[in-house]
Amino acid sequence: MSTQPRPDLKNPVHLLAFGFGAGLVPRAPGTAGSLVGAVLYLPLSALPLAAYLVLLGVLFAGGVWLCGRTAGDLGVHDHGGIVFDEIVGILVAVTALPLDWRWLLIAFLLFRLFDIIKPWPIRLLDRRVKGGLGIMLDDLVAGIAALALLQSGLHLL
């Protein structure tokens, strides 16, 4: 990542897009961003489901602008350090899960798996949709895929 331009973390837009600096870790910045999202889930899990879903919608919509603006400022379509999309993606994956470290760990691993290997349609979205929407959309779908498996597991148990 050292060859990519560095954000200005004094700029609140860059600070948020880079997950409060998590995106600057030298290895696996997406994993670091996902960890930030998992930690944020702990207090957010106390919200009523409807409020949580509204918050996810606001974070996604804001993330489209935030990530698009930061990518534009840096001149790189999807800078590896932009991790706001991972933060929102993991928050989607953990929606309505029991607050238990085992479920959180499984959600984290599933989300990272889908985000890294990008099975269809995630890979298609990642390649074809550009700008802030493209940055956010593949992680949203990875989060939804993880959520679907997790919720299926919950109902089977």
**pLDDT (tens digit per residue) in 100-116:** 999 999 999 999 999 99
Cα(135)–Cα(45) distance, integer angstroms:
25
Mean of the per-residue pLDDT values of the chain: 94
Domain ranges of the chain: 12-156
**Predicted pLDDT at 126:** 84
pTM over 0.75: yes
